[in-house]
Structure 1
Amino acid sequence: MSTPTTSFGREAAAAIARSKNEPAWLIAKREEAGELAAALELPKPEKTPLARWNLNVQGAHRPGKSAASPAELPIAVASQLNAQDTGALIVQHNSSVVFTRLPEELKAQGVVLTSLEEAARTHEDLLRAHLMTAYEPGEHKLSAMHAALWNGGVFLYVPRNVQIEAPVQAILFADDAEATFVPHVLVIAEANSRVSVVENLMTDLGDSSATLLHNGAVEVFAKPGAHVQYAAVHHMDNSAIDVSYRRALLEKDARIEWIVGEMHEGNTLTDTKSILKGNGSSSDAKFISVGTGSQRMSLTTGAVHFGLSTESDMVTRAVMTEAATAIINGVTKIEKGATKANGQQTERVLMLSPKARGDANPILLIDEDDVKAGHAASVGQVNAEQVYYLMSRGISRAEAERLIIYGFLDPVVSEIPLEELREKLQRILERKLG
């Protein structure tokens, strides 16, 4: 039985938690979130009428089938994996985690990779101190629903001074349009640790007429001197809605790198924010998106500077085709006392159709004098001079435009730290751009 948001509340949240035999502290947190969900309103992103989206039904708990090896995973998932790869991997299928692999050498160093539901039992202190503290249940109805309903999920803990060379893969997969699909990724990187996380969000919904709502969240906690690289590619069927909130909380000299390809086929709402608490912390965010059909996209990237000598850089590049619409917001906030902070951002949109729409909104909120901040934004069509130059070299107009578009998006595509996912992103681009 699916769960409509209009009737969801404290008792419904508690019933779901008890059905999974969760610990009392987590049941209480879900109850509180359920109560908030009944009272709060939807978020109000710029020029995006969420009330018209089908956000009312959250689905039903549909756990996937546990797998003993990658070969037992659904074909759509197994096909994404390199048979020779034996690195860290976790897979969520619909409402539950079905496979986890962590190399023995990483276990020996104290690295933990498990489902968030399991971590609630085995690593209670860490979860209680971090879960839903950077992305809080009280922000709006969708955050409260997420806190009440999250399932499966990813818990990654990297101890002090541990450096993980190979990327940690997280595949989040749904093939049941009526499933509750609410994964939460929690990364805790202790002091002077280093890790790359690669998230692959995908669906295979067939001809289902139901709407799948992905209401996902990522929280990254980078302790002093830690370096976290978080790469993600989202690609779901057009009958799905992608809601993704990402937060990184950075302590002294910590660094986060966001590398995200928003390749979803349906309506998309994403909000990614780096919170630079510690002195000398830094954030680098690179995003690309391609809109097709009549999809609506709201993409917000933000950095909030609290510490001294903090740095943030945000680059978003979007290509809109057919009748797609994108609202792209970049928000740099420098708080009082964050002296010597440096916040830069760039938003660029290419429109390949007269019906396509792109809106780039750079926003600087500065409460301190001794800082640097800047922005650049552009919305337009493929540069005619570049097309002419390539055509003068014997390249057709269509091929010239394609090369320019690929060059426009390459700064993000080339940064994906896992070859298989990078190749997948390139295939998606070829398909979406025709």
Structure 2
Amino acid sequence: MTTQTTLPVNAEALKAVSQSKQEPAWVTEGRLSALELAGSLPLPKLEKQRIDRWNIQAYGEYKAAQELTSLDELPEHAAKLVEGSREGGLIIQRNSGTVYTKLSDELRSQGVIFTDLETACSQHEELVKPYLHQAIKADEHAMAALHAATWNGGVFLYVPKNVEVELPLQAVLLTDDAGALFAPHILIVAEANSRVTYVDNYVDSGLEGHVTHNGAVEIFVKNGAKVRFASVHQLSTDITDVTYRRAVVDNDASMEWIVGEMNDGDTASDTMSILKGSGSLSDAKVIAVGSGSQKINYTTQARHFGKSSASQMITRAVMREEAQAIINGITKIEKGATKADGQQTERVLMLSPKSRGDANPILLIDEDDVTAGHAASVGQVNAEQIYYLMSRGISRTMAESLIIYGFLAPVVSEIPLEGLRDQLQSLVERKLGQ
């Protein structure tokens, strides 16, 4: 299928914007090359869904961002997310650019870099250039190419060798202008034997019109390093959210994904760990609640190249009203990845006769000396469980809530960040109309 994607910008305009921001020549050239690719590549193929039928044309245009003079200028919803999170580091992007950046003096003295990606391209070219668009190539499909051409703001996090960052570093990505291009790119590089936790939230406020969010995350975990990446997307029905995440994990390194998909609009995400090194580890936890007439497509992947590499993927999704979900788990063990261990579980709970869920566990094994397994289930709330709880004096609404919380608990309870657990709990309650 040939893409019919309408390009949101022409080459002349893209070059003019890049030059107005005084981007290095290699960044401008990369953007223009990606834009040319976008015009010829097909759209990404989603399992059992057609993304070309979604509203993926509302990119808007680049609008220069004005820095915040105070965090009090943020919409109330966004301001609550940054309460008590300013000790380590904080970045805020609003629409097309970064408006607030802070990093503690202690971390800066240790060589940690935490800034917007646009600034990093100019000030830390030697650290950014070898990694940008290398885990997610611009030629993967039309949306990857469009992102590589139009990304803005974003986050660059660099942790030097042997540095352990104790406090989570946080970013808030906010869109509140439907006419503004919103396409942050997150790039994290953790050098050998380093440790870091990064948490971000995608939010919107007061939109008047539709927004297409085409985002990307690239993470490089060097030998013996550990990265914990937590992301919560809580965007409204006015936003189509398409996000691709990739981590390249080296020898004895560890990658942990914690993803809360709490959007109200159509959503597609693909989260992959590339276990390149021997002894590399990946642990992915994804929870999702769908509502209204949402169309949802979540894919979690682990691709094993390293010997004795191990991956664990757990996805739990709750669908209510007329929401439709496709949940994919893909474990690929390449030839030569001996002693690899890949495990995955996908479970979907449907709360209404009109909701739909589809769990697809996929194992692709090209090596004999490995261990791999999967489990998947799709079902509705058990009527007997509801009856039992109601017979003990509990209302139907509360009974359903208890069952749902019990269904999500195996994932939520394993999240090591207390603040994130509480946030996801409140978002689940909101999505369930409680």
Q: Shorter-chain-normalised TM-score: which range?
A: over 0.9
Q: What residue in structure 2 maps to residue 75 of structure 1?
A: 76
**Deviation of residue 411 (structure 1)?**
3.1
Q: What residue in structure 1 maps to residue 223 of structure 2?
A: 224
- Alignment of 1:24 with 2:21, yes or no, is no
Distance in 1, matches of 2:159 and 2:293, equals: 42
Distance in 1, matches of 2:14 and 2:189, equals: 26
Give the AA of the match of 2:376: A
Q: Once the two structures are superposed, what CA deviation does each residue of 1:263-304 show, in whole Å capped at 9, x if it has no partner? A: 000000100000000000010001011110101001001000
Q: Once the two structures are superposed, what CA deviation does each residue of 1:22-56 show, in whole Å capped at 9, x if it has no partner? A: 11011111111010011111101111111111212
Decide whether aligned partners of structure 1 residues 260 and 83 sit closer, same or farther in structure 2, where only a CA change above 3 A counts: closer
**Counterpart contact for 1:302–1:332, Cα < 8 Å:** yes
Distance in 2, matches of 1:399 and 1:57, equals: 39
Give the AA of the match of 2:236: D
- Alignment of 1:177 with 2:178, yes or no, is yes
Give the AA of the match of 2:343: Q
**Counterpart contact for 2:334–2:367, Cα < 8 Å:** yes
Decide whether aligned partners of structure 1 residues 7 and 293 sit closer, same or farther in structure 2, where only a CA change above 3 A counts: closer
Give the AA of the match of 1:211: H
Matches within 5 A, 1:251-400: 251-400=250-399
- Alignment of 1:13 with 2:33, yes or no, is no
- Percent identity over paired residues: 59
SS in 1 for 2:287: strand
SS in 1 for 2:277: coil
Distance in 1, matches of 2:400 and 2:76, equals: 35
**Deviation of residue 385 (structure 1)?**
4.4
**Counterpart contact for 1:251–1:279, Cα < 8 Å:** yes
**Counterpart contact for 2:8–2:57, Cα < 8 Å:** no
Distance in 2, matches of 1:7 and 1:397, equals: 48
**Counterpart contact for 2:75–2:205, Cα < 8 Å:** no
**Counterpart contact for 2:321–2:352, Cα < 8 Å:** yes
Give the AA of the match of 1:428: L
Distance in 2, matches of 1:389 and 1:68, equals: 56
Q: Once the two structures are superposed, what CA deviation does each residue of 1:371-393 show, in whole Å capped at 9, x if it has no partner? A: 01111110001234443443454
Once the two structures are overlaid, the 10-residue window that deviates more, 45-54 or 189-198, is 45-54
Give the AA of the match of 1:149: T
SS in 1 for 2:187: strand
> If the length of structure 2 is used for normalisation, what is the TM-score?
0.95
Give the AA of the match of 1:412: V
Distance in 2, matches of 1:324 and 1:7, equals: 29
**Counterpart contact for 1:260–1:412, Cα < 8 Å:** no
SS in 2 for 1:182: coil
Q: What residue in structure 2 maps to residue 413 of structure 1?
A: 412
Structure 1: gaps (5+ residues): none
- Alignment of 1:240 with 2:239, yes or no, is yes
Q: What residue in structure 2 maps to residue 40 of structure 1?
A: 41
What root-mean-square deviation, in Å, do the aligned CA atoms of Structure 1 and Structure 2 show?
Answer: 1.7
Distance in 1, matches of 2:95 and 2:413, equals: 30
Q: What residue in structure 1 maps to residue 50 of structure 2?
A: 49
Distance in 2, matches of 1:78 and 1:109, equals: 29
Decide whether aligned partners of structure 1 residues 316 and 302 sit closer, same or farther in structure 2, where only a CA change above 3 A counts: same
Q: Once the two structures are superposed, what CA deviation does each residue of 1:400-426 show, in whole Å capped at 9, x if it has no partner? A: 221110121123334455544433322
Give the AA of the match of 1:253: D
Q: Once the two structures are superposed, what CA deviation does each residue of 1:117-147 show, in whole Å capped at 9, x if it has no partner? A: 0000111011110001001100000000000
Decide whether aligned partners of structure 1 residues 338 and 403 sit closer, same or farther in structure 2, where only a CA change above 3 A counts: same
Give the AA of the match of 1:172: L
SS in 2 for 1:129: coil
Give the AA of the match of 1:264: N
Q: What residue in structure 2 maps to residue 429 of structure 1?
A: 428
**Deviation of residue 76 (structure 1)?**
3.2
Distance in 1, matches of 2:399 and 2:263, equals: 25
Decide whether aligned partners of structure 1 residues 377 and 119 sit closer, same or farther in structure 2, where only a CA change above 3 A counts: same
Distance in 2, matches of 1:304 and 1:228, equals: 17
Once the two structures are overlaid, the 10-residue window that deviates more, 359-368 or 418-427, is 418-427
Once the two structures are overlaid, the 10-residue window that deviates more, 300-309 or 77-86, is 77-86
**Deviation of residue 228 (structure 1)?**
0.4
**Deviation of residue 101 (structure 1)?**
1.1
How many correspondences in the alignment? 429
SS in 2 for 1:130: coil
Distance in 2, matches of 1:247 and 1:383, equals: 37
Distance in 1, matches of 2:63 and 2:75, equals: 15
SS in 2 for 1:79: helix
Distance in 2, matches of 1:168 and 1:83, equals: 12
Distance in 1, matches of 2:281 and 2:85, equals: 35
**Counterpart contact for 1:190–1:224, Cα < 8 Å:** yes
